[in-house]
Amino acid sequence: MQNDDPKSKIIRFPFARSGVAMSRDAPRNLGLTPMSKAVATEGRGAKGHWCADCKGIWYSYFPEVQCPVCGRRG
């Protein structure tokens, strides 16, 4: 007898994350850095950076490393 259940065809990757609750909410928009706001306030073309503490994305035109909301570097 052949099993036609789609779940039976999934091959699990041995090092995949499992048991981790993934947030279904959209990340917060943390806005532009102060230096980027001084250049252009619309934010078009700025690069996004993830802040793990704020669980959101902040944007900058420059190679900055500090979140404008919490100050976390990285």
Q: Phi first, then psi: give them for residue 9, nearest 5 degrees.
A: -90, -5
- Considering only residues 19 and 71, tell me which one the structure prediction assigns the higher pLDDT: 71
Which of 63, 34, 59 lies closest to 45 in space, CA to CA? 59
What distance in Å separates the CA atoms of residue 36 and residue 26, rounded to the nearest whole number? 23
The H or E element spanning position 36 is helix 34-39
- What pLDDT does residue 3 have? 63
Higher-pLDDT residue of 4, 70: 70
18-70 pLDDT per residue, tens: 444 555 678 899 999 999 999 988 888 999 999 999 999 999 999 999 999 99
Stated pTM of the model: 0.63
Q: What is the CA radius of gyration of the chain?
A: 20
Give pLDDT, residue 20.
Answer: 46
